[in-house]
Amino acid sequence: MKDVKVNDTHCFALIGHAGDGKTSLGEAILHHAGATTALGIVSEQTAHLTMLPEEKERQSTMTSSIFGFEWSGKHLTLVDTPGDSNFQADGRIALCALDGAILLVSATSGPKVGTQRMWQFCQSQEIPLLAFLNAMDKERSDFTATVDALKEMGANPVVVTLPIGHADGFKGVVDLLNMSALTAAGEAEIPGELAAAAADARAQLVEAVAECDDTLLEKYLEEGELTNAEVAQGLVIATRARQLTPVYCGAATSELGIETLLQGAIQLLPSAADREPWKAANGESVAADPDAPFAAVVLKTIIDRYAGTLSAFRVVAGTTRPDSNLLNLTRGQKERFGKLHLLRGGEHVEVDAAGPGDIVAVAKLKSTHTGDVLGAEKGAPELPAIPIPQGVVSYAISAKSKGDEDKVYASLGRLVEEDPTLHLGREASTGEFLLTGMGELHVRITVQKLQRLFGVDVELKRPKVPYRETITRRAEHIEGKLKKQTGGKGMFGVCYLTVEPKPRGEGIEFVDKIKGGAIPRSLIPAVEKGIYAACEAGPLAGYPVVDVRVYCIDGKHHAVDSNEMAFKLAGSFGLKAAVQQAKPILLEPMMDVEVSIPGSFVGDIMGDLSSRRGRVQSSEAKGSTQVIQAQVPMSEMLEYASQLTSMTGGQGEFHMEFSHYDEAPSHVKEKIIAEAGNARAEDA
C-alpha cells in the first residue's frame, strides 16, 4: 500500500465527550496534513469525517469514522469516535484495535462524563494518550483550570504547549519541548510577556519527566537540567507507560496548535512496531512483523450502498494483498476477498497491500463480524476477539404494515451486523421481537436508518415483562378428564396428577407413575404433551408455568373412545386444575444491575434503587467513579436509562443482565392479574 516502515505506521483515535469538537479537530488535522483540500466544517455539513445523514442533521458523531493518510513520511490512520453515551461503545470497540488516543477536552467547560469514561477505558485497556485542550479561542476558555481538572480526574497531566492569549486574543502556542512559539504566521520567538511563564512551565515539564525515570532523576538532581533529547525521550517513555498525560492546546476551528499536536502524536504515541505486543490466546507475544503469518482484528462493519458490507480490519502481523484467502479464527470459517480499500472517510481508495498497523476494508466476507479475528490458513496466531459491549435498553419492535414483517427483520439483521452493540431477539414468553441498544437515542436512530436505507417503517413500544407462574405446595390426585359423546365415536380420557414445586430454574418435569395399564403405554406421551401445552399459560395471568414436577399416577381409558387427543386434553385439564390447588404465585425477573456514577450521586442513586424495590449488594470506588451493584426487578428498569441521565446530568451509566426469578410482591401480583384480566376482556 505504501513505502512506509512499520515503525512509521501509526493508528490513533480521537476520544472525548460529545460536542467538545473531536470531529472539528480531526478535520483540522487532515487539512493541516494535506489529506483534504478544504477544511471540513461540521456546522456546514462539509466534514469529511461525518457521513451519515443522521450525523449531519444532529451535528454529532454516531459511528466511528476511519481516515488513512500520509504525513511527514508517516502513514497515519485517524479514527474519529462518538462521544455520546448512546454511541460511545462503537469507539471503545475501535480503540481495542488501535495503538493510542488523543483525548479532547473543552477548555471552556473542562472534562465531562464522556471525557472521564473514555479516559478510564483507555486506562483499563492500557492505551497511552495525549490530551488536547480545545477551544482556546472561545470566551470563558481557561487553560489552567482545565489542566487542574485533569489532575482531579487522575490523568497526571504535564503541559507540553502553553496558549498565547485566549478567547479573541488567542494567537498560537508555545512549544515547551523546543522553547519556541508557533502562530498562524509560523514559528517565532516566545513573546516577552510569556517568557517567565514558559520558563516555569518548562521546568515543571522537565521535573515531571525526571521523576518517571531514576537515571534522569539522578542527573536532574545533580545538574538541575536535562538536555532537550533527554526530556523528549523521557517523555516518550513516560507517555507510553501511561505515567504522564502530555497536554497540548489549541483551537480546532482556527487550525491553531495542530502542528505541535500532530508532531506529538507521532513522537509520543507508539507506532505499530513500538506498542506493547499483542498477546495470542496461548500467551505468546505477536510481533508486528510484515513477513509473519497474517493476523488481523475486525474493528468495524460498514453497510455501503454501492460496495455492500465492508469489514474494516487492523493488521496485527503479516501482509495481505487483494484476492486472498484467509480464515476467520473466531468462527472457524474460510473467507475470500477481492479488493483492499483504504478508508478515507466516505472515500474508498484501492490499495495493493496492507501490513502491520494498517487499517483496510474488504467487501462481502460471508461470516465475519465486528470483533472477529482473521488469520492466514496456516500458522496464524489466535488473537483474542474484541469484546462487544452489551445493550441496556430494549424496545418491542414491529412492522407498521403487516406485509412488511419479513423485510423489517431482514433489514434489521443488516443493521445489527453493522452495529454489534444492537441486538434483535424474540422473547418466547411474550412473542415480542425486542431491539436492544445502548440507549433510547441509539434505538431511535436505528429506526431512522432502517427507514432511510431500506424504506420500511416500524413501531416501537415498551416491552412486556416476561413474568412466570409457579406453585408453592404439593397438590395430590387431581383429576383431568375429557368425556365427550356425539352420537358416533366419542372421546374419553382420564388422568390423575400430583404436582409439587421444584427449585427455581429447574423447569417442568414429567414423571410416569402409571401401573397396571390404567392408561395404555401408547397414550401416556399424549398426557405429557397436554401437560406441557397447559404450562404455556398459567391460571393467574396467562404467563408460562415453570419449576413444577408432575406425576401421572393413575387414569382411565375406553377401548373405543380413548385416543391421543382425548388424553392430551385430559392432561391439560388436569395440570390446570392441579396448579390452581397448589397455591400458585407470580414470579418476576430480577436483574443484576451495575451503576457507575460520580461519588457525589451515590446517596441519590442508592435511594432511587431502593425505591425500585432493588437490593443494593455493594458500593465500590474505582478512581473518581463509584460502582454500585444491585439486584432490581426488570419491571422497574425498563425506563431507567433516561431517568439515570436526568438524575446525574448524563454522568451516570449502567449495565444489567438477567439474574433469576423471584416471587412478586402481592401488590405487583394483583396489578398484573388485573391487567391480564382487562386484556382478555378486550380481546373477547
Mean pLDDT along residues 469-473: 96
Mean pLDDT along residues 326-336: 94
pLDDT tier, 439 (very low <50, low <70, confident <90, very high otherwise)? confident
What are 597's strand-pairing partners?
A: 626
Q: How many CA atoms lie within 13 A of 670 on its CB side?
A: 3
Cell 454522568 locates to: 651
> Of 347 and 439, which is predicted with more confidence?
347
Mean pLDDT along residues 48-71: 92
The sign of the torsion formed by the CA atoms of 653, 657, 658, 659 equals: negative
> Of 437 and 511, which is predicted with more confidence?
511
| Alpha carbon 336 to chain centroid, angstroms | 28
> Of 247 and 430, which is predicted with more confidence?
247
Task: Quickly list DSSP for 517-551.
Answer: TSS-GGGHHHHHHHHHHHTTS-TTTSPPB-SEEEE
| Distance in angstroms (rounded) separating the CA atoms of residues 90 and 361 | 17
60-83 per-residue burial string, b: 16 or more CB within 10 A, e: under 16: bbbbbbbbbbebeebbbbbbbbbb
| Distance in angstroms (rounded) separating the CA atoms of residues 275 and 12 | 12
Query: Would you give the DSSP letter of residue 472?
Result: S
pLDDT at 254: 94
CB 300 within 8 A of CB 388: no
Q: Average pLDDT, whole number, for the chain?
A: 92
| Distance in angstroms (rounded) separating the CA atoms of residues 496 and 518 | 10
Provide φ and ψ at 492, rounded to 5°: -145, 130
| Cβ within 8 Å of residue 309, ≥6 positions away | 301, 302, 303, 363, 364, 365, 414, 417, 418
- Please say if the pLDDT value at position 430 is more than 80: no
φ/ψ region of 338 (left if φ > 0, alpha if ψ in -120 to 50, else beta) reads: alpha
pLDDT tier, 649 (very low <50, low <70, confident <90, very high otherwise)? confident
CA proximity to 660, closest of 641, 636, 634: 634
pLDDT tier, 135 (very low <50, low <70, confident <90, very high otherwise)? very high
All structural domains of the chain:
6-268 (3.40.50.300), 278-375 (2.40.30.10), 393-461 (3.30.70.870), 469-582 (3.30.230.10), 586-667 (3.30.70.240)
pLDDT at 670: 93
pLDDT at 684: 59
pLDDT tier, 429 (very low <50, low <70, confident <90, very high otherwise)? low
pLDDT tier, 2 (very low <50, low <70, confident <90, very high otherwise)? low
pLDDT tier, 247 (very low <50, low <70, confident <90, very high otherwise)? very high
Dump strand ranges (E) for 364-517. 373-375, 393-399, 423-427, 432-437, 458-461, 468-471, 475-484, 491-501, 508-512
CB 227 within 8 A of CB 235: no
Provide φ and ψ at 339, rounded to 5°: -80, 150
- Please say if the pLDDT value at position 371 is more than 70: yes
- Least confident stretch, 329-338, 422-431, 554-563: 422-431
| Cβ within 8 Å of residue 360, ≥6 positions away | 1, 68, 312, 313, 315, 320, 340, 341, 342, 343, 351, 354
The terminus-to-terminus CA distance of the chain in angstroms comes to 69
- Please say if the pLDDT value at position 1 is more than 60: no
- Please say if the pLDDT value at position 486 is more than 80: no
| Distance in angstroms (rounded) separating the CA atoms of residues 39 and 30 | 8
Query: Would you give the DSSP letter of residue 31?
Result: H
Spatial strand order of the sheet with 508-512 comes to: 475-484, 491-501, 548-556, 508-512
pLDDT at 463: 82
CB 570 within 8 A of CB 470: no
Share of the chain above pLDDT 70, in %: 98
Query: Would you give the DSSP letter of residue 323?
Result: S
pLDDT at 624: 66
Cell 483540500 locates to: 37
Question: For 552-566, what is each residue's pLDDT tens digit?
Answer: 999 999 988 999 999
Mean pLDDT along residues 150-158: 93
- Please say if the pLDDT value at position 673 is more than 90: yes
Mean pLDDT along residues 502-519: 93
- Please say if the pLDDT value at position 74 is more than 70: yes
pLDDT at 282: 86
pLDDT at 202: 96
Three-class SS of residue 637? coil
pLDDT tier, 4 (very low <50, low <70, confident <90, very high otherwise)? confident
pLDDT at 182: 94
CB 66 within 8 A of CB 30: no
| Distance in angstroms (rounded) separating the CA atoms of residues 172 and 160 | 13
Which value, in Å, is the radius of gyration of the alpha carbons in the chain?
32
pLDDT at 292: 95
Mean pLDDT along residues 110-124: 88
Question: For 590-642, what is each residue's pLDDT tens digit?
Answer: 999 989 888 889 999 999 999 999 999 999 887 667 889 999 999 998 888 88
Three-class SS of residue 244? coil
Three-class SS of residue 273? coil
Which residue type sits at 642?
S
What are 424's strand-pairing partners?
A: 435
pLDDT tier, 440 (very low <50, low <70, confident <90, very high otherwise)? confident
pLDDT tier, 392 (very low <50, low <70, confident <90, very high otherwise)? confident
CA proximity to 146, closest of 129, 160, 132: 132
- Please say if the pLDDT value at position 663 is more than 80: yes
Mean pLDDT along residues 440-450: 90
